[in-house]
């Protein structure tokens, strides 16, 4: 059996499309993860200074104010958004996931520093003054590690500066006079004076077991997006095959049903209806599997409802794209929901540690909006201010856009007489 020679575009087009897609994939995925420290920007950390001051060396002193000023100078403003606030506001910001950590200077810091200086020559039990680094593990383990790296580096410099000042103060007070000799300062006391501040790290509302170190929300989000995205592709392919618009092929079995006389709009409405039926079933399956695996879920009904909404929104939009662009819609959906979505989701690497282009994408990319909603439900008691309100409204907006776009484009095709049929879609070979 002889056949016509294969045209060059049959093999060149797939090569070009795959090459470009892989280039975009590598740029997006490697670009957001290879150098988070270099990409750091607007990383939110709070500073709380409660120190009331005391008298050191005969002078009224507030070392907490000095440290707060030093931290503001040592922490790079182009990388970290340092917010000076009080305890109540700091706790609210941590509860809502608006900050990734906090530095807390207690109210007796200067007083304890003075006691430490006196204890260097007077026997007795004494404790070093404490500065607390409070992390927010519900934001994610990577954000916590960045928080600790930034704060510990800054406080190491502060500790060195404060130690030098305290040593100088003690030396001045112990300077010998013609009538008296200077009291001896032991080597251990000198080491303590050189690094007088005890930096304590405490997590704010630690995550329970079964959360994957703060990654369960991200992977649950990924499941929801895949359910909407891949579900739409499956529904699109199977419905078109059943209506006779595309052939059905399973191994050697091949069948192509006669085309059904149905408009593009009605076909899309049928697919949307199937998505609406499938979404709550899939959402219930996800919830059941998570429960079976002992994943802690305190707001199960809320998670079920929001996941259902997100699956419907993604599925409806993906089907509208397929209705508008045909086979090319598969590539458009892949780029929209997966290629651009994963790097800008903020689920593994925080948005503030990725290139600024990722931050721009996160303002509208579906995966980031869904992640904010699911993270709020799983980790932040389903509070609207912690991302649930934003995630819900953005998901509803995405659903509305998908409905309007799909209905408008298919109605336009129908009015123009661009019906789907074998005769209509036959292409003359060049």
Give 296-336 pLDDT, tens digit per residue: 999 999 999 999 999 999 999 999 999 999 989 999 999 99
Beta-bridged to residue 134, according to DSSP, are 102, 202
Angstrom distance (rounded) from CA 58 to CA 420:
91
- Cβ-proximal residues to 17 (8 Å cutoff; 6+ apart), any chain: 331
Q: Do the beta carbons of residue 420 and residue 259 sit within 8 Å?
A: yes
193 vs 337 pLDDT, higher one: 337
At which residue do the structure tokens 């007796």 appear? 108
User: With 0-12 CB in 10 A as exposed, 13-18 as middle and 19+ as buried, what is 16?
Assistant: exposed
Q: Measured between alpha carbons, how far is residue 193 from residues 57, 106, 112, 163, 366 in Å?
A: 15, 19, 12, 5, 53
Tokens standing for residue 354: 């990725």
CA atoms 85, 92, 135, 87: torsion sign: positive
Angstrom distance (rounded) from CA 211 to CA 385:
22
Which of the given ranges, 22-26, 278-282, 344-348, has the highest pLDDT on average? Answer: 278-282
Angstrom distance (rounded) from CA 212 to CA 209:
7
* Closest alpha carbon to 201 in 127, 155, 134: 134
Q: Do the beta carbons of residue 128 and residue 192 sit within 8 Å?
A: yes
Residue 265, φ and ψ in degrees, nearest 5: -65, -45
Q: Which helix (H) or strand (E) holds 52?
A: none
CA atoms 252, 258, 259, 261: torsion sign: negative
Q: Assign residue 209 a region: left if phi > 0, alpha if psi is -120 to 50, beta otherwise?
A: beta
> What pLDDT, on a 0 to 100 scale, did the predictor assign at position 128?
79
Give 8-20 pLDDT, tens digit per residue: 777 788 888 888 8
Give 248-258 pLDDT, tens digit per residue: 888 888 888 88
Confidence of residue 245 (pLDDT cuts 50, 70, 90): confident
125 has a pLDDT exceeding 70: no
Residue 50 is given by DSSP the state: -
User: What is the longest distance spanned by two Cα atoms in the chain?
Assistant: 119
CA angle 294, 295, 298 (to 5 degrees): 110
Beta-bridged to residue 56, according to DSSP, are 59
320: number of CA atoms within 13 Å, CB side?
A: 21
- How many other C-beta atoms can be found within 10 angstroms of the C-beta atom of residue 332? 14
Q: Do the beta carbons of residue 394 and residue 379 sit within 8 Å?
A: no
174 has a pLDDT exceeding 50: no
> What pLDDT, on a 0 to 100 scale, did the predictor assign at position 348?
85
- How many other C-beta atoms can be found within 10 angstroms of the C-beta atom of residue 175? 9
- Cβ-proximal residues to 41 (8 Å cutoff; 6+ apart), any chain: 78, 79, 352, 356, 359
37 vs 52 pLDDT, higher one: 52
DSSP string, 29-44: HHHTTS-HHHH--SEE
Q: Mean pLDDT of all residues in the chain?
A: 84
At which residue do the structure tokens 């703060």 appear? 214
414 vs 185 pLDDT, higher one: 414
> What pLDDT, on a 0 to 100 scale, did the predictor assign at position 421?
63
- SS3 state at 211: coil
Residue 207 is given by DSSP the state: P
**What's the whole-number mean pLDDT along residues 217-228?**
95
Confidence of residue 226 (pLDDT cuts 50, 70, 90): very high
Query: By percentage, how much of the chain surpasses pLDDT 90?
Result: 48
Angstrom distance (rounded) from CA 4 to CA 80:
64
């Amino acid at each position: 059996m002889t056949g016509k020679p294969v045209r060059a575009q049959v093999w060149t087009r797939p090569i070009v499309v795959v090459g470009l897609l892989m280039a975009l994939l590598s740029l997006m995925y490697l670009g957001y993860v290879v150098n988070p420290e270099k990409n750091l920007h607007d990383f939110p950390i709070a500073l709380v200074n409660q120190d009331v001051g005391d008298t050191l060396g005969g002078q009224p002193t507030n070392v907490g104010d000095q440290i707060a000023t030093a931290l503001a100078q040592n922490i790079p403003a182009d990388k970290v958004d340092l917010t000076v606030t009080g305890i109540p506001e700091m706790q609210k910001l941590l509860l809502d996931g608006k900050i990734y950590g906090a530095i807390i200077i207690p109210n007796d810091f200067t007083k304890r520093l003075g006691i430490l200086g006196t204890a260097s020559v007077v026997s007795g039990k004494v404790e070093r003054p404490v500065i607390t680094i409070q992390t927010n593990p519900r934001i994610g383990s990577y954000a916590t590690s960045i928080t600790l790296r930034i704060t510990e580096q800054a406080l190491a410099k502060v500790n060195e500066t404060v130690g030098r000042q305290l040593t100088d103060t003690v030396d001045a007070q112990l300077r010998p006079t013609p009538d008296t000799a200077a009291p001896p300062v032991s080597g251990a006391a000198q080491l303590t004076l050189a690094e007088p501040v005890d930096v304590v790290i405490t997590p704010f509302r630690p995550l329970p077991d079964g959360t994957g170190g703060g990654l369960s929300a991200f992977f649950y989000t990924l499941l929801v997006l895949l359910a909407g995205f891949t579900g739409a592709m499956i529904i699109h392919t199977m419905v078109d095959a059943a209506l006779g618009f595309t052939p059905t092929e399973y191994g050697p079995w091949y069948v192509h049903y006669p085309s059904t006389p149905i408009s593009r709009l009605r076909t899309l409405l049928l697919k949307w209806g199937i998505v609406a039926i499938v979404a709550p079933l899939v959402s219930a399956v996800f919830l059941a599997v998570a429960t079976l695996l002992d994943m802690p879920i305190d707001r199960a009904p809320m998670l079920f409802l929001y996941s259902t909404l997100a699956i419907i929104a993604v599925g409806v939009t993906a089907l509208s794209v397929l209705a508008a662009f045909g086979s090319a819609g598969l590539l458009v959906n892949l780029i929209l929901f997966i290629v651009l979505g994963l790097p800008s989701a903020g689920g593994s690497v925080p948005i503030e540690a990725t290139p600024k282009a990722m931050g721009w994408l996160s303002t509208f990319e579906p995966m980031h909006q869904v992640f904010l909603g699911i993270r709020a439900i799983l980790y932040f008691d389903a509070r609207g201010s912690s991302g649930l309100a934003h995630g819900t409204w953005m998901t509803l907006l995405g659903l509305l856009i998908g409905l309007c776009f799909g209905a408008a484009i298919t109605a336009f095709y129908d009015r123009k007489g661009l019906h789907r049929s074998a005769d209509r879609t036959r292409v003359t070979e060049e």
